Amino acid sequence: MKILVPVKRVVDYNVKVRVKADGTGVETAGVKMSMNPFDEIAIEEAVRLKEKGVATEIVAISIGVAACSETIRTALAMGADRGVLVETDMAVEPIAVAKMLKALVEKEQPQLVILGKQAIDDDMSATGQMLAALLGWPQGTFASKVAVENGGITVTREVDGGLETVALTLPAVVTTDLRLNEPRYASLPNIRKARKKPIETMKPADLGVDPTPRLTVLRVTEPPKRRAGQKVGSVAELVMKLRTEAKVI
Amino acid sequence: MSDILDAIEQFLARDVVMHVHGLEKADAYPAEIVERMKALGLFGATIAPEYGGLGLPCGQYAQIVERIARVWMSLTGIFNSHLIMAAIVGRHGTDAQKHEFLPRFAVGELRGGLALTEPDCGTDLQAIRMTAKRDSDDYVINGTKTWISNGIYGQCFALLVKTDLSAQPRHQGMSMFLAEKGPGFTVGRKLEKLGYKGIDSAELIFDDYRIPADRLIGGVEGFGLKHALSGLELGRINVAARGVGVAQAALDESVKYAQLRKTFGKPIAQHQAIQLKLADMATRTEAARLLVGRAADFYDRGIRCDMEAGMAKLFATEAAMENSAEALRVHGGYGYSTDFPVERFYRDAPLLVIGEGTNEMQRIIIARQLIERSPV
Ligand SMILES: Cc1cc2nc3c(=O)[nH]c(=O)nc-3n(C[C@H](O)[C@H](O)[C@H](O)COP(=O)(O)OP(=O)(O)OC[C@H]3O[C@@H](n4cnc5c(N)ncnc54)[C@H](O)[C@@H]3O)c2cc1C
Ligand SMILES: Cc1cc2nc3c(=O)[nH]c(=O)nc-3n(C[C@H](O)[C@H](O)[C@H](O)COP(=O)(O)OP(=O)(O)OC[C@H]3O[C@@H](n4cnc5c(N)ncnc54)[C@H](O)[C@@H]3O)c2cc1C
For A33, counting Cβ atoms within 10 Å of its Cβ (0-12 exposed, 13-18 middle, 19+ buried), the class is middle
- CATH assignment of the domain containing B199: 2.40.110.10
User: In this structure, how many other beta carbons lie within 10 angstroms of the beta carbon of residue B113?
Assistant: 25
A188, B7: Cβ pair inside 8 Å? yes
- pLDDT tier for residue A225 given thresholds of 50, 70 and 90: confident
Q: Is B356 a catalytic residue?
A: yes
Residues B119, B68 within the same domain: no
CA distance A215 to A213: 6
Band the pLDDT of B3: cuts 50, 70, 90: confident
Q: Ligand 2 center to residue B68 CA distance, Å? A: 31
| pLDDT value for B362 | 96
Pairing status of strand B185-190 against strand B266-267: unpaired
Q: Please indicate, yes or no, whether residues B119 and B253 belong to a single structural domain of this protein.
A: no
The pLDDT of residue A229 is 87
The fold of the A2-244 domain, in CATH, is Rossmann fold (3.40.50)
The pLDDT score that the predictor gives to residue B288 is 98
Q: Per-residue confidence at A210, pLDDT binned at 50, 70, 90?
A: very high
Instruction: Taking residues B170-181, report their average pLDDT.
Output: 97
Q: What does the pLDDT average to over B330-349?
A: 97
Distance between CA A90 and CA A217 in Å, rounded? 13
Residue B55 and residue B157 in one domain: no
pTM of the model: 0.88
Sheet holding A112-116, edge to edge: A162-169, A152-159, A139-149, A172-176, A112-116, A2-6, A57-64, A82-87, A199-202
Q: Judge if B238 and B213 occupy the same domain.
A: no
Q: What's the gap between Cα B147 and its chain centre?
A: 12
Verify that B257 and B361 share a domain, yes or no: yes
Q: What is the CATH number of the domain that holds B35?
A: 1.10.540.10
Of B224, B240, B269, at which residue does a domain stop? B224
Same domain for B331 and B248, yes or no, is yes
Q: Which of B9, B356, B360, B372 is catalytic?
A: B356
Asked if A97 contacts A125 with a C-beta cutoff of 8 angstroms, the reply is: no
Domain co-membership, B165 together with B201: yes
Distance (angstroms) between ligand 2 centre and the Cα of B270 equals 17
pLDDT tens digits, B48-88: 999 999 999 999 999 999 999 999 999 999 999 999 999 99
- B20 with B128, same domain: the answer is no
pLDDT of residue A234 exceeding 90, the answer is yes
Residues B149 and B274 placed together within one structural domain of the fold: no
Domain C-terminal end among B195, B224, B253? B224
SS3 A103: helix
Query: B3 touching A, CB under 8 A?
Result: yes
- Given pLDDT bands bounded at 50, 70 and 90, which one contains residue A150? confident
pLDDT confidence of A52, banded at 50, 70, 90? very high
Distance CA A193, CA B11 (A): 19
Check residue B116 and give its pLDDT: 97
Owning domain of residue B163: 112-224
B231 or B335, which is more confident: B335
- Tell which of B208, B224, B240 closes a domain: B224
The pLDDT tens digits of the residues spanning B259-297 come to 999 999 999 999 999 999 999 999 999 999 999 999 999
Q: Domain check: are B265 and B369 in the same one?
A: yes
Do B97 and B116 fall into the same domain?
no
Interface check A185 vs B, CB under 8 A: yes
| Cβ pair A187:B40 closer than 8 A | yes
pLDDT for B164:
97
The total number of structural domains that make up chain B = 3
**Do B73 and B184 fall into the same domain?**
no
CB of B122 shorter than 6 A to ligand 1: yes
